[in-house]
Amino acid sequence: SLMSAEIATEAFEQASNAALTPFMPNLTFSYSYNRNQEEFGNVFTFDNIDLDRYWSSTAGISLNWNLFNGFSDYLNYEKAIIAERNQAIVKARTERNIKQSLLAAYDNYQSAIEVIKINELNLESASEEYRLATERRIVGSATQLEVRDAQVNLTRAEQSLVEAVSY
């Protein structure tokens, strides 16, 4: 469906953006605090302990940048771009198929309306033919067979109209 194609397209766009992250440097901050005492009990107590002594802290900044790894980062990025383009093609195809289906349904609807109109005209014509055949029979210029034929034509016209409307 179109909604799933749009969601998949968005996911592939995000994946191609994420494929750029290996090209960025990694910046790491670290901090460490240590206390050192000869007796374990003195590490967590502050009675008679000089707080300016027996402790240390360390801070660090690290910057890592992978400059060369056999072009695998670049290949992964290219694969993500190709996957994004392929998904865009799938989305366009889905949109085109939906549009084609809608146009076909609309054309079928228009054709059905035309068939109904034609069958309504045929029904009116058959009804008029039956009326005229009945009048001619009353005045004696038509046979009972002609009236029956007109009646059969009227019934067929009614049946055709019912079939067209139920389609």
Is the pTM value of this prediction over 0.85?
no
Nearest to 5 by CA among 122, 105, 86, 117: 86
Q: What is the reported pLDDT for 158?
A: 93
Q: Which amino acid is at 101?
A: S
The arithmetic mean of pLDDT across residues 141-146, rounded, is 90
Angle in degrees, 0-180, between the axes of helices 72-139 and 2-18, rounded to the nearest 10: 170
Does pLDDT of 138 surpass 70? yes
Query: To 10 degrees, the CA torsion angle through 14, 17, 21, 24?
Result: -150
Question: Greater confidence, 165 or 37?
Answer: 165
Mean predicted lDDT score pLDDT of the chain: 86
Does pLDDT of 36 surpass 80? no
67-125: pLDDT as tens digits: 777 678 888 888 888 988 998 999 999 999 999 999 999 999 999 999 999 999 999 99
Q: How far apart are CA 149 and CA 155, in angstroms?
A: 10
Does pLDDT of 51 surpass 90? no
Instruction: Please provide residue 63's backbone torsions phi and psi, each rounded to the nearest 5 degrees.
Output: -120, 120
Structure tokens at 36: 């050192």
Q: How far apart are CA 160 and CA 116, in angstroms?
A: 9
Q: What is the reported pLDDT for 6?
A: 87
Does pLDDT of 133 surpass 90? yes
Q: How far apart are CA 157 and CA 118, in angstroms?
A: 10
Name the 3-class secondary structure at 118.
Answer: helix
| Beta strands per DSSP E along the chain | 26-35, 55-64
- Tell me the pLDDT band of 9, cut-offs 50, 70 and 90: confident
Does pLDDT of 159 surpass 60? yes
Q: How far apart are CA 136 and CA 116, in angstroms?
A: 30
